[in-house]
Each structure stands twice: as C-alpha cells, then as structure tokens.
Structure 1
Amino acid sequence: MSIHRYGFVDYDLTAFLLSHVRPGSTVVDVGAHIGYYTMLASALVGPAGKVWSFEPTPSTLSVLRRNVDRLPNALVVPAAVWSKREELVFHDHGLGYSAYNSAFRARLPDAVRERVPSVPFTVDAVSLDEHVRAEGIDVDFVKIDAESAEAHVLEGMRDLLARRRPVISLEVGDLDVPGAPSSRELVDTLMTAGYEPWELRRGTPVPHRPRTHYVYQNLLFAPAGQWHADNTRRPDHHA
C-alpha cells in the first residue's frame, strides 16, 4: 500500500539509504520480504557492490526472486537469519500479512491476529557470522527487520560486530511478544558492542537517547566515534 500510494516504504530509512549508501558497498538485507530495500540497495551500490538478501517464507520468496532475478549484484538466500544454523518453525499469515511471518507470535493487534491465517512451516536458519565467513564478505551496512528475532540475529553476528563493524539499521517496537526481549535490551546489546544509537529525522541521523519503551521505528547504530552530530560519516568503506 505504501509503495502504491507514495512510491516508497518508510520515508526516513529510504531517504537515509539514498543519501548515504555509495557505489561499491556491500549491503545485507535481513528480512527482505518482497525486496523493496534489496532493489533500492542494488541500485545504490552499483555493479561494483553487492546485496545479500535473506528471506525464509516460500510464498514471499517467490515474489522476491521475481523482483531480484534481473539484478546481477543482488543474491537471494532462502533462509532465516538466526543465532546459529538450525531448522525453525515459522508461521505464514498469507501474502497480505506476510510482513508479519515469524518464528514468534505475529506483531499484530489481537483482533487482527485472530482473523488472519497462521500456517506453520519449517525453514532453514543461518547466522550472519557463518554466512560471512563462508562467502568471504566485507559487510558495510546491515538492515535488520526480523519480526521479533532481532536478538537472535545480533547473537549470530557477534564476530561481524566486533571485526568488520558495519552500520546497522534495526527495527524496534515493543508489542510484548512472548519470548522476545524488549527493544531497550536490543539497544543495550549494540551499545555494549561499542555502537552508538542514532534516530532518523527526515532521513538525517541524530543522536538517540535510549528509552525504556519503544513504538515502531528504525534506529541506526554506528561504531562509537564514527559519526558526529553535525557531520555524520557515510556507512560504507568509501567514506
């Protein structure tokens, strides 16, 4: 609906990528869905760059592949991103609600969740650290939208956070999903790893003060000292 009405999804994150991601960068799209951010990143990084796109749901994956197959610098990985390699049980809520497919309870209001389908299926899961080592990738930017699995994604990229230290985009929002940590815990995890939190205001990163409770938004995390409030550096190795 957002693409149909406005031509984009999430103005702030879209504007940030347009102004900061540069040719030659490597971008990882965790929770790619139908590929909006994958296609945008593909255009931005150009022939010298690469986009790795992770999506586990078969029905959504088929749409993603149709969108991405014509992009030579984008590679689709048919798997969930997790803390380690294993098989997970996901729940498919149909294409209309496929953005909420997850190994956890759907992040939907109770009244909506009760009327949408929920079909269990199994998916393969991998960790980013394992994938990066296997493929020999130097990652510059990681977009994470994992529907309550963010803590597992971060656990599975500890080496990447410690060594390559890419800029991270992380979806937050507290909806009291059983088994999922609070958004503040995710923020604290990245700060403990030596990252500073930033929020987006009309696509521009500004310093973020951690909160006890979060509504939906995308936060950015950059290695401490890499960005400054008056002159943020671009999140790629060409900055």
Structure 2
Amino acid sequence: MLPDDVSVSLRQNGFFEYDLSAFYLRFLKNGMTFVDVGAHVGYFSMLASRAVGPAGRVFSFEPTQSTYDVLVTNARTESNITPINQAVWSEEAEIELHDYGPCFSAFNSAFGARSEGVRTGFSERTHSVQAVSPDSFVRDQGCTPHVVKIDVESAEGHVLRGMHHVLSEHRPVVSLEVGDMGVPGAASSRDLIEHVLAYDYRAFELSDGQALPHQPKRE
C-alpha cells in the first residue's frame, strides 16, 4: 500500500498515531470488544486484536473494496477480527463514497477529502456503498462494545447520530477524530463533542498516550 500515510509511518516508525496507539494498549484488556469504524488497512484493528486477546472481539468496518481487501489480508491471522465491507452511518442506507485511489485511501469519505492537496490535485471516483448504523449492528450482533473508534473523514456526525442506544445503554469509550478542515456539510469538532457530552460523557484529549480532561473552547 505504499506510499499512503499509514504505511509510510509504519515503515519509518513502526507505529501510527502514537498517542492513540499508546492509549489503546493501556486501556484495552483481555475479553473486551473493540469496534473500528473506519478501519482502513487494519492497523488499529490488529493492535486491538492483540490487546483484547482470543476472548475479545474486533469488528472492523471498511467500505472501500480495495482497502477492505488489504484489511482482510492483514487480519487473516487473527481469528478475533471480523472485517465488514460496509460504511457506518446514522441509519441503514446506500451512500456515495468518494474514492481517491490506493495511495490516498485514508482520505476516502462520504464528504470531500479533508486534505486540500487531495481535493485539488488528484482525481476521484464515486461509487455506492452499503451502510449500517451502530445501533442496529450492535443489536443484531448481540455484543457489548467497550471501545468504539470513529475515524471516517468528516462523517463522524452521521455515525454519532446512529449511536443513541450504544451511547445511552452500553456507554463505551468513544475515540473520535476531530479537526475542522472546512469540508462543506461536515459537523464541527465542537458539535461532535457536545453531541457526546449530552449523553453524560466526559471529554478527554490525548497527550503522550494519556487521557487528560478536555475543556471545550469558547467560540
């Protein structure tokens, strides 16, 4: 998959997104269930798989077929990973996905690419993918998620709107990608955080792999 950002980081450093990786390794325990929404080629799914052990479960959602194929190859040795070739959305639906090709697959999204360079410098193709809501998936699986990672390139708001039952009843740790990139139609970071706080959650931010209390900034 070189030279996409994840593969380059893994080859150069042996890890990707140090703070998040370190937090998962500290927090995840044997037997937990990890839901990877936006699994890409499976780095965090593989990390979680080793952390939760044979008694745990990892559900890895990746809607782009070519990226999903790599995810399946990477996860083939881990019996506790279930790759799922679907998007995650506020409801069960068929949505349009912007695909920027293998080298820029980390930017694939139901919205425009978060990177200005990708938006203006590279071609894209759009295709339809099936999507499921977190609530319906968890209900159908009969599982109890302990950690839900959401990294879906500006579609985080839609995922959260499909998590009412998960947030109110199961109350997993939610790892959420934020960062306002000026993508039309995407929820702001503040809106995403306030949505989760409305479920009586507390917000934290990562520093050196540790979760520290986050204070929402005034607008």
Same fold (TM over 0.5): yes
Asked if the contact 1:198/1:205 (under 8 Å) is kept, the reply is yes
Residue in 2 aligned with 1:170? Answer: 176
The alpha carbon displacement at 1:112 in A equals 3.6
After TM superposition, the structure 1 = structure 2 runs for residues 82-93 of structure 1, keeping only pairs within 5 Å, are: 82-93=89-100
Partner of 1:143: 149
Q: Which residue of 2 aligns with 1:126?
A: 132
| Cα shift at 1:6 | 0.5
After superposition, residues 69-108 of structure 1 pair within 5 angstroms as 69-108=76-115
Aligned 8 A contact 1:184 1:212 in 2: no
Q: Does 1:66 align with 2:73?
A: yes
- Could you give the per-residue CA deviations for residues 21-70 of structure 1, whole angstroms, max 9, x where no partner exists? 00000000000000000000000000000000000001101100100122
- The 5-angstrom pairing of residues 28-43 of structure 1 reads 28-43=35-50
Matched, 1:152 2:158: yes
Residue 196 of structure 1: SS of its match in structure 2? coil
The residue that corresponds to 1:199 in the other structure is 205
Q: 1:185 aligns with which of 168, 191, 214?
A: 191
Q: Number of aligned pairs?
A: 212
RMSD over equivalenced CA pairs, Å: 1.0
Unaligned regions of 5+ residues in structure 2, if any?
1-7
Counterparts of 1:194 and 1:165, CA distance in 2: 10
Higher helix share: 2
Post-superposition Cα deviations, 1:99-133, rounded to whole Å, max 9, x if no partner, equal: 00011010011x44222120111100000100000
2:121 match? 115
Give structure 1 stretches of 5+ with no counterpart.
214-239
Distance (Å, rounded) in 1 between the aligned partners of 2:87 and 2:29: 27
TM-score for both structures, normalised by structure 1: 0.87
Instruction: Please list every run of at least 4 consecutive aligned residues from structure 1 whose deviation after the TM superposition is greater than 3 angstroms.
Output: none
Q: Which amino acid aligns with 1:189?
A: H
- Alpha-carbon distance in 2 for matches of 1:12, 1:82: 26
Using the size of structure 2 for normalisation, the TM-score is 0.95
Q: Secondary structure at the match of 1:19?
A: helix
